[in-house]
Amino acid sequence: METILSPPFSPLFNPKTSLSKPLLSLSHLSRSTKPICCSLRKQHSQIEKESFSVPKSWVSHVQQGLAALAISLALNFCPVVSSDSALASEFDVLNEGPPKDSYVVDDAGVLSRVTKSDLKALLSDVEKRKGFHINFITVRKLTSKADAFEYADQVLEKWYPSVEQGNDKGIVVLVTSQKEGAITGGPDFVKAVGDTVLDATVSENLPVLATEEKYNEAVFSTATRLVAAIDGLPDPGGPQLKDNKRESNFKSREETDEKRGQFTLVVGGLLVIAFVVPMAQYYAYVSKK
Protein backbone atom coordinates (compact mmCIF):
# COMPACT_ATOMS: atom_id res chain seq x y z
CA MET A 1 0.00 0.00 0.00
CA GLU A 2 2.75 2.33 0.73
CA THR A 3 4.19 1.74 -2.67
CA ILE A 4 0.88 2.31 -4.44
CA LEU A 5 0.24 5.58 -2.72
CA SER A 6 2.98 7.67 -4.02
CA PRO A 7 3.89 11.02 -2.53
CA PRO A 8 2.30 13.13 -5.30
CA PHE A 9 -1.13 11.73 -4.41
CA SER A 10 -0.66 11.68 -0.69
CA PRO A 11 -1.81 15.24 -0.09
CA LEU A 12 -5.29 14.32 -1.19
CA PHE A 13 -5.62 11.87 1.63
CA ASN A 14 -3.82 13.91 4.25
CA PRO A 15 -6.01 16.82 5.19
CA LYS A 16 -3.95 17.88 8.12
CA THR A 17 -0.78 18.52 6.23
CA SER A 18 -1.67 19.53 2.69
CA LEU A 19 -5.32 20.62 2.36
CA SER A 20 -5.01 23.49 4.71
CA LYS A 21 -2.73 25.41 2.44
CA PRO A 22 -4.85 25.18 -0.71
CA LEU A 23 -7.94 26.11 1.25
CA LEU A 24 -6.24 29.17 2.61
CA SER A 25 -5.10 30.17 -0.83
CA LEU A 26 -8.60 29.79 -2.25
CA SER A 27 -10.11 31.86 0.51
CA HIS A 28 -7.45 34.46 -0.05
CA LEU A 29 -8.24 34.55 -3.74
CA SER A 30 -11.95 34.81 -3.10
CA ARG A 31 -11.42 37.70 -0.73
CA SER A 32 -9.15 39.49 -3.15
CA THR A 33 -11.63 39.27 -6.02
CA LYS A 34 -14.52 40.83 -4.10
CA PRO A 35 -12.94 44.29 -3.67
CA ILE A 36 -12.11 44.32 -7.38
CA CYS A 37 -15.76 43.86 -8.29
CA CYS A 38 -16.82 46.48 -5.79
CA SER A 39 -14.29 48.94 -7.06
CA LEU A 40 -15.40 48.37 -10.64
CA ARG A 41 -19.01 49.00 -9.66
CA LYS A 42 -18.09 52.15 -7.79
CA GLN A 43 -16.10 53.47 -10.71
CA HIS A 44 -18.95 52.68 -13.08
CA SER A 45 -21.44 54.45 -10.82
CA GLN A 46 -19.15 57.48 -10.50
CA ILE A 47 -18.82 57.71 -14.27
CA GLU A 48 -22.59 57.55 -14.64
CA LYS A 49 -23.07 60.26 -12.02
CA GLU A 50 -20.52 62.51 -13.68
CA SER A 51 -22.04 61.92 -17.11
CA PHE A 52 -25.50 62.86 -15.85
CA SER A 53 -24.34 65.76 -13.67
CA VAL A 54 -23.08 67.79 -16.63
CA PRO A 55 -26.44 68.31 -18.39
CA LYS A 56 -28.15 69.04 -15.07
CA SER A 57 -25.70 71.83 -14.30
CA TRP A 58 -26.03 73.14 -17.88
CA VAL A 59 -29.82 73.22 -17.63
CA SER A 60 -29.64 75.01 -14.28
CA HIS A 61 -27.36 77.68 -15.76
CA VAL A 62 -29.73 78.16 -18.67
CA GLN A 63 -32.69 78.50 -16.30
CA GLN A 64 -30.86 81.07 -14.20
CA GLY A 65 -29.91 83.04 -17.29
CA LEU A 66 -33.50 83.08 -18.57
CA ALA A 67 -34.75 84.21 -15.18
CA ALA A 68 -32.26 87.08 -15.05
CA LEU A 69 -33.19 88.08 -18.59
CA ALA A 70 -36.88 88.11 -17.71
CA ILE A 71 -36.27 90.28 -14.64
CA SER A 72 -34.17 92.79 -16.59
CA LEU A 73 -36.79 93.03 -19.33
CA ALA A 74 -39.51 93.55 -16.76
CA LEU A 75 -37.57 96.35 -15.07
CA ASN A 76 -36.65 98.11 -18.31
CA PHE A 77 -39.93 97.88 -20.21
CA CYS A 78 -42.53 98.02 -17.44
CA PRO A 79 -44.75 101.05 -18.15
CA VAL A 80 -46.33 101.08 -14.71
CA VAL A 81 -43.19 102.28 -12.97
CA SER A 82 -42.67 105.25 -15.25
CA SER A 83 -46.32 106.36 -15.04
CA ASP A 84 -46.38 106.10 -11.27
CA SER A 85 -43.21 108.17 -10.93
CA ALA A 86 -44.61 110.83 -13.27
CA LEU A 87 -47.85 111.01 -11.32
CA ALA A 88 -46.08 111.14 -7.98
CA SER A 89 -43.76 113.87 -9.22
CA GLU A 90 -46.60 115.99 -10.55
CA PHE A 91 -48.75 115.77 -7.43
CA ASP A 92 -45.82 116.16 -5.07
CA VAL A 93 -45.37 119.69 -6.39
CA LEU A 94 -48.98 120.45 -5.47
CA ASN A 95 -48.90 118.83 -2.06
CA GLU A 96 -45.55 120.18 -0.87
CA GLY A 97 -46.63 123.79 -1.27
CA PRO A 98 -44.53 126.83 -2.19
CA PRO A 99 -40.81 126.63 -1.47
CA LYS A 100 -39.70 128.37 1.72
CA ASP A 101 -36.00 128.94 1.12
CA SER A 102 -36.08 129.62 -2.61
CA TYR A 103 -38.35 130.62 -5.46
CA VAL A 104 -37.80 127.53 -7.60
CA VAL A 105 -39.25 124.00 -7.65
CA ASP A 106 -37.04 122.22 -10.16
CA ASP A 107 -38.88 118.92 -10.32
CA ALA A 108 -37.58 118.23 -13.85
CA GLY A 109 -33.99 118.67 -12.69
CA VAL A 110 -32.95 120.92 -15.59
CA LEU A 111 -31.77 124.03 -13.75
CA SER A 112 -28.22 124.60 -12.59
CA ARG A 113 -27.13 125.97 -9.22
CA VAL A 114 -26.05 129.22 -10.82
CA THR A 115 -29.49 129.75 -12.34
CA LYS A 116 -31.21 129.01 -9.04
CA SER A 117 -28.92 131.43 -7.22
CA ASP A 118 -29.47 134.18 -9.80
CA LEU A 119 -33.23 133.68 -9.65
CA LYS A 120 -33.22 133.90 -5.89
CA ALA A 121 -31.27 137.16 -5.95
CA LEU A 122 -33.47 138.70 -8.66
CA LEU A 123 -36.84 137.61 -7.28
CA SER A 124 -36.03 138.37 -3.65
CA ASP A 125 -35.04 141.89 -4.66
CA VAL A 126 -38.29 142.57 -6.52
CA GLU A 127 -40.27 141.11 -3.63
CA LYS A 128 -38.59 143.46 -1.16
CA ARG A 129 -39.11 146.49 -3.37
CA LYS A 130 -42.50 145.80 -4.94
CA GLY A 131 -44.05 143.08 -2.79
CA PHE A 132 -44.60 140.56 -5.62
CA HIS A 133 -43.62 136.94 -5.04
CA ILE A 134 -42.95 134.83 -8.16
CA ASN A 135 -42.41 131.06 -8.11
CA PHE A 136 -40.89 129.04 -10.97
CA ILE A 137 -41.82 125.37 -11.45
CA THR A 138 -40.32 122.86 -13.86
CA VAL A 139 -41.96 119.48 -14.49
CA ARG A 140 -41.19 116.75 -16.99
CA LYS A 141 -44.69 115.80 -18.07
CA LEU A 142 -48.30 116.60 -17.24
CA THR A 143 -50.84 113.81 -16.86
CA SER A 144 -53.62 115.34 -14.77
CA LYS A 145 -54.15 118.49 -16.84
CA ALA A 146 -54.40 119.15 -20.55
CA ASP A 147 -51.80 121.90 -20.73
CA ALA A 148 -49.48 124.06 -18.66
CA PHE A 149 -52.08 126.83 -18.14
CA GLU A 150 -54.52 124.54 -16.34
CA TYR A 151 -51.74 123.13 -14.19
CA ALA A 152 -50.48 126.64 -13.31
CA ASP A 153 -53.99 127.65 -12.21
CA GLN A 154 -54.25 124.46 -10.16
CA VAL A 155 -50.95 125.21 -8.40
CA LEU A 156 -52.02 128.79 -7.66
CA GLU A 157 -55.34 127.67 -6.15
CA LYS A 158 -53.66 124.89 -4.16
CA TRP A 159 -50.83 126.99 -2.75
CA TYR A 160 -52.84 130.16 -2.18
CA PRO A 161 -56.49 129.20 -1.63
CA SER A 162 -57.85 132.67 -0.98
CA VAL A 163 -57.74 135.78 -3.17
CA GLU A 164 -55.89 137.71 -0.47
CA GLN A 165 -53.12 135.13 -0.32
CA GLY A 166 -52.65 134.90 -4.08
CA ASN A 167 -53.28 138.53 -4.98
CA ASP A 168 -49.60 139.47 -5.38
CA LYS A 169 -48.31 135.98 -6.28
CA GLY A 170 -47.12 134.75 -9.67
CA ILE A 171 -46.65 131.18 -10.92
CA VAL A 172 -44.47 130.28 -13.91
CA VAL A 173 -44.63 126.66 -15.14
CA LEU A 174 -42.25 125.06 -17.66
CA VAL A 175 -43.03 121.58 -19.04
CA THR A 176 -39.85 120.14 -20.52
CA SER A 177 -41.32 117.22 -22.47
CA GLN A 178 -44.01 119.31 -24.14
CA LYS A 179 -41.69 122.32 -24.65
CA GLU A 180 -44.28 124.77 -23.38
CA GLY A 181 -44.86 127.12 -20.46
CA ALA A 182 -47.53 129.13 -18.72
CA ILE A 183 -47.77 132.12 -16.38
CA THR A 184 -50.60 132.87 -13.99
CA GLY A 185 -51.08 134.92 -10.86
CA GLY A 186 -53.32 137.05 -8.73
CA PRO A 187 -55.09 140.20 -9.93
CA ASP A 188 -52.39 142.63 -8.74
CA PHE A 189 -49.62 140.55 -10.28
CA VAL A 190 -51.34 140.32 -13.68
CA LYS A 191 -52.03 144.07 -13.62
CA ALA A 192 -48.43 144.93 -12.73
CA VAL A 193 -46.94 142.79 -15.48
CA GLY A 194 -49.50 143.49 -18.18
CA ASP A 195 -51.15 141.22 -20.71
CA THR A 196 -48.71 142.15 -23.46
CA VAL A 197 -45.63 140.99 -21.59
CA LEU A 198 -47.42 137.91 -20.26
CA ASP A 199 -48.47 136.79 -23.74
CA ALA A 200 -45.08 137.58 -25.26
CA THR A 201 -43.21 135.72 -22.53
CA VAL A 202 -45.39 132.64 -22.87
CA SER A 203 -45.08 132.60 -26.67
CA GLU A 204 -41.42 133.58 -26.98
CA ASN A 205 -39.15 133.00 -23.97
CA LEU A 206 -40.45 129.69 -22.66
CA PRO A 207 -41.29 127.65 -25.80
CA VAL A 208 -38.53 128.93 -28.10
CA LEU A 209 -35.66 128.33 -25.67
CA ALA A 210 -37.21 125.10 -24.37
CA THR A 211 -37.33 123.75 -27.92
CA GLU A 212 -33.57 124.29 -28.07
CA GLU A 213 -33.31 122.70 -24.59
CA LYS A 214 -31.92 125.92 -23.13
CA TYR A 215 -33.98 125.61 -19.97
CA ASN A 216 -31.77 127.79 -17.79
CA GLU A 217 -31.89 130.64 -20.26
CA ALA A 218 -35.63 130.19 -20.74
CA VAL A 219 -36.34 130.51 -17.02
CA PHE A 220 -33.97 133.36 -16.26
CA SER A 221 -34.93 135.43 -19.33
CA THR A 222 -38.58 135.04 -18.35
CA ALA A 223 -37.84 136.25 -14.83
CA THR A 224 -35.88 139.22 -16.15
CA ARG A 225 -38.72 140.19 -18.44
CA LEU A 226 -41.35 139.94 -15.70
CA VAL A 227 -39.27 141.97 -13.24
CA ALA A 228 -38.64 144.67 -15.86
CA ALA A 229 -42.40 144.93 -16.46
CA ILE A 230 -43.09 145.20 -12.72
CA ASP A 231 -40.47 147.94 -12.38
CA GLY A 232 -41.92 149.81 -15.33
CA LEU A 233 -38.75 149.46 -17.40
CA PRO A 234 -38.66 148.92 -21.18
CA ASP A 235 -39.37 145.38 -22.32
CA PRO A 236 -36.05 143.62 -23.07
CA GLY A 237 -37.86 141.38 -25.55
CA GLY A 238 -37.48 137.68 -26.13
CA PRO A 239 -35.73 135.33 -28.51
CA GLN A 240 -37.06 134.84 -31.99
CA LEU A 241 -37.85 131.46 -33.41
CA LYS A 242 -35.13 130.48 -35.81
CA ASP A 243 -36.10 129.81 -39.40
CA ASN A 244 -34.97 126.28 -40.09
CA LYS A 245 -35.70 126.43 -43.80
CA ARG A 246 -32.77 125.16 -45.79
CA GLU A 247 -31.49 127.10 -48.77
CA SER A 248 -31.77 125.39 -52.11
CA ASN A 249 -28.58 124.03 -53.60
CA PHE A 250 -29.95 124.26 -57.15
CA LYS A 251 -28.69 127.18 -59.24
CA SER A 252 -30.95 129.48 -61.17
CA ARG A 253 -31.20 129.53 -64.96
CA GLU A 254 -29.20 132.75 -65.25
CA GLU A 255 -26.38 131.33 -63.14
CA THR A 256 -26.38 128.15 -65.21
CA ASP A 257 -26.18 130.05 -68.51
CA GLU A 258 -23.38 132.23 -67.19
CA LYS A 259 -21.37 129.25 -66.00
CA ARG A 260 -21.99 127.48 -69.30
CA GLY A 261 -20.62 130.45 -71.28
CA GLN A 262 -17.51 130.59 -69.15
CA PHE A 263 -16.98 126.86 -69.56
CA THR A 264 -17.30 127.15 -73.36
CA LEU A 265 -14.68 129.86 -73.49
CA VAL A 266 -12.25 127.89 -71.39
CA VAL A 267 -12.69 124.71 -73.46
CA GLY A 268 -12.35 126.62 -76.72
CA GLY A 269 -9.14 128.27 -75.58
CA LEU A 270 -7.65 124.95 -74.56
CA LEU A 271 -8.50 123.42 -77.94
CA VAL A 272 -6.89 126.31 -79.80
CA ILE A 273 -3.75 126.01 -77.72
CA ALA A 274 -3.66 122.25 -78.27
CA PHE A 275 -3.68 122.68 -82.07
CA VAL A 276 -1.73 125.91 -82.55
CA VAL A 277 1.26 125.17 -80.33
CA PRO A 278 2.20 121.84 -82.01
CA MET A 279 1.78 123.36 -85.48
CA ALA A 280 3.97 126.32 -84.56
CA GLN A 281 6.64 124.00 -83.22
CA TYR A 282 6.49 121.92 -86.42
CA TYR A 283 6.87 124.94 -88.70
CA ALA A 284 9.75 126.18 -86.62
CA TYR A 285 11.47 122.82 -86.89
CA VAL A 286 10.97 122.64 -90.67
CA SER A 287 12.17 126.18 -91.26
CA LYS A 288 15.43 125.47 -89.47
CA LYS A 289 16.17 122.62 -91.84
pLDDT at 17 over 50: no
CA within 13 Å, CB half, 228: 16
Cβ count near 216 (within 10 Å): 17
Write the pLDDT tens digit of every residue in 152-174. Answer: 999 999 999 999 999 999 999 99
What per-residue confidence (pLDDT) applies to 287?
Answer: 74
81-127 per-position pLDDT tens digit: 333 333 447 788 888 999 988 999 999 999 999 999 999 999 999 99
CA 192 to mean position of chain CA atoms: 42
Q: Which residues pair with 181 in a beta bridge?
A: 174
pLDDT at 265: 74
Residues 6 or more apart whose CB falls under 8 angstroms from that of 133 comprise 103, 123, 127, 168, 169, 170
Amino acid 60: pLDDT? 63
242 vs 49, more confident:
242
Residue 132 pLDDT: 97
To the nearest 10 degrees (0 to 180), the angle between helices 148-159 and 79-96 is 40
Q: Does the pLDDT value for residue 200 go beyond 50?
A: yes
Give the pLDDT mean for 195-204.
Answer: 94
Percent of the chain residues past pLDDT 70, beyond the cut = 61
From CA 112, how far away is CA 108, in angstroms rounded?
11
> Is pLDDT at 35 greater than 50 in this prediction?
no
Q: Could you count the other beta carbons within 10 Å of the beta carbon of residue 11?
A: 13
**Helix, strand, or coil here: 101?**
coil
CB 137 within 8 Å of CB 173? yes
Question: Going from the N-terminus, what domains does the chain have, and what CATH number goes with each?
Answer: 89-231 (3.10.310.50)
CB atoms under 10 Å from CB of 102, counted, come to 16
Confidence band for 138, pLDDT divided at 50, 70 and 90: very high
